[in-house]
Amino acid sequence: MIVSGWYLSTRHSISYRVPGPARRTAQRKAEAEVRMVEHLLSALYGLRIDNLVIETNAMEMPVGDGSALNFVEPFMRAGIREMDAAPRRVAVKRPVAVVEQDILMVAMPGGEGLTLTHVLDYGKHFLRAQSLTLSMDRDTYIREIVPARTYVLRPEVDAFVQTGLGKGATPENTIVLEEDGSLSAAPRFEDECVRHKLLDLVGDLSLCGGRLSARVIGYKSGHGTNVQLAKAIRNASTDESVQSESGERNRSDAGG
C-alpha cells in the first residue's frame, strides 16, 4: 500500500473520511485505507514538506508518544531539501463555515499564511475552557504544537475498548481526562489539550491540498467538522500554483 504526502494525496483521487467514532481521520483509495493519518499529515504541513511517498502495510499510522514527535524528529534528522517547483496554495477568498449543534468551524480570508484559533470547552466537567491562537509558521509549529499529546475523556475509554479502537494507547501516549479535572499524566504544557486540538486541526486542514492562506477558528470542533471544513474550503477557494513573493519553494524529505 502506498500513501502519498498531503500535497500529492489530494491531487490523486485519494478520498478522506472520519470513521465512526470520529476520533481519527482516514485516507482511502479503492480498497486501500490507512487510518489515524492526522498526526503524520500535521507534521508534513507544519514542516512545509510538499512532496514525498510513504509506504506502509499497516491500516494505522503509528501513535508514537501521542504527539507529532515520532514523525517530526525523523524528518528533521533525514533533512529537508528545497525543490525548484513552487508550492501549491489554497487561499480562502470568502468566509466558509461548518455548524453542527454547538460546534462551529469557520475559515476567513487571512492574508498570507495560516492562523488558527481553537476553543476547547467541556462545560463544568473535565477541565476549564482552554483557547489558543497561533500563526502556523514552521518554528512556532515545532515549538508550540508538535509535543502536545492526544487525550481522551474517561467515559470514552470503555467505548474505545468495546469497539476495538485505541489498541496502541498507553498511559505514556494518551492522557485521560477525569470528570473532576485531573489528568492521568503530567502535562507537557498547561494547556496541552487545546494545543493537541491545533495539531489535529493542522493535519485535517492539510487535506485542502496546498498551503492554506486563511484565518480558521474552531469552537468545540473535532476531526469530523475539521474534515468537513477542509472539503468546504476546497470547494469554495481559489488555489494559486505560483511562487510566493519570498521565493519559497516546494520542500521534500531528502531521505537517508
Q: For residue 152, what pLDDT is reported?
A: 76
Contacts of 119 (CB under 8 A, 6+ apart): 129, 130, 131, 194, 217, 218, 219, 220
- 200: nearest Cα among 108, 116, 104: 116
pLDDT for position 185: 76
Matching residue, cell 489528568: 183
Cα distances (angstroms) measured from residue 87 to each of 51, 90, 111, 197 = 10, 10, 17, 26
What is the C-alpha separation between 32 and 28, in angstroms, rounded? Answer: 6
Q: Can you say how many angstroms the Cα of residue 186 is from the centroid of all Cα atoms in its chain?
A: 23
State the number of CA atoms in the 13 A half-sphere of 235 facing the CB.
Answer: 8
| Residue 39: predicted pLDDT | 93
Of 146, 125, 129, the residue nearest 137 (C-alpha): 146
Please give the backbone phi and psi of residue 130, each rounded to the nearest 5 degrees, phi first. -125, 145
Strand positions, DSSP E, the chain: 2-4, 15-17, 26-29, 32-35, 53-55, 80-82, 89-91, 96-100, 103-108, 114-120, 130-135, 150-153, 174-177, 211-219, 238-240, 251-253
Residue 174 in 3-state DSSP?
Answer: strand
Contact 153, 177 (CB under 8 A): yes
Architecture of the domain whose range is 2-249: 2-Layer Sandwich (3.30)
- Per-10-residue mean pLDDT of the chain, 256 residues long, equals 40 48 65 82 93 82 88 94 86 92 93 92 79 96 95 68 56 69 80 94 91 94 90 72 40 45
Residue 127: CA count within 13 A, CB half-sphere? 22
**Can you give the residue ranges of every domain in the chain?**
2-249
Omega before 109 cis (within 30°)?
Answer: no
Q: Rounded to the nearest 10 degrees, how much is the dihedral formed by the CA atoms of 170, 220, 10, 238?
A: -160
Query: Which residues are known catalytic residues?
Result: 223
For residue 207, the 8-state DSSP code is G
Q: How big is the chain by its Cα radius of gyration, in Å?
A: 17
Q: What is the pLDDT of residue 47?
A: 95
